[in-house]
Structure 1
């Protein structure tokens, strides 16, 4: 088997044994109740009512497995009561995003990450939509320090905390997570990041090859490999 991309599956899918599993998006991996989206309460009720298996994915999302055919509608309805859809759960860039815990929990943190992610994704999503790229599943990751707990060095676009309010911008990973990205800018403030991001996205849109991903475009155009030297 060849894995061509690193990503989770969302919504309902049938298992080989005939039962079902449900992929749920969990922003930054944090199971919590928030206004309009009571994920923690919903999962507790699903657990006590239907007793599925719960599996956390490497991308901080959740799988509810071993759900009987007859329980699917009940699980869907219960989640909907708490503002959790099972289809169209989030925009593409949100579904592929990750962030480490960072401040205030981690003593190694130099800058915000998890707490800043929702607002950053709002702006990121708006920029993509404005450019007609809303359905592009760009892999974006963010950490509060260089230790890389959210695997930022594999992302197509990543922010790595260097100091309070300042990040290194990394570009050029791939969707299969088999290529390291490279540092593109250092000590970037968030407003500077979004200005730079828009410029890069416009270039990608104009210069990409057919369905070339952002990471592949960045790797090809920003850091072209030198031609091999032929010696006689």
Structure 2
């Protein structure tokens, strides 16, 4: 059974679109920049999306799932201009805010997708395409009865791994301890991924916090409330 079939049969919950009011500035950049920078899931043509054509160049592409208000995405795009950064988010306000950052820093290596990242990976990304996938502070759904709604599950990790190129990375971060344990278990269940810090960190595979990962408001809130942030970095095995 392939990763796509596993996702379908497992009934994985991804993100859902919600209506959020945009500011005047966000509306302005949406009207002026969305046509060039963004696409909605519904508007994508059937089949694999030509990422090189969309970005206007052939470069390593990293998909960020749940880019929030986009400040971290923009900072990473500034720091790594040689990388194509594709931000997937359901909230129009978050995408609008990211376009404000893109405008501020005059970035040409950022594109935006409004829609379900699971559907995008399943239907529009070819196997072995992505240089990396980032999922920072996904909705923890803290109540036990809602845990089935969590994004990072073994079937979803399998789908991500299938879309990563050999040597590509999956980077996860969360401040919820039980979710971190679930993420670790989901990644360990995927045989094509190797934990980059399994033997080096001395902490059961948790990655040291990368200095290059920007501190988000979610991380600042977690620190203020005394919750430890856990990072996981997995690498797609060669030949997988």
Larger Rg: 1
| Higher percent of residues as helix | 2
| Higher relative contact order, chain-length normalized (CA < 8 Å, sep 6+) | 2
| Bin for the TM-score computed over the shorter chain | under 0.3
TM-score, with normalisation over the residues of structure 1?
A: 0.24
Q: TM-score, normalised by structure 2?
A: 0.24
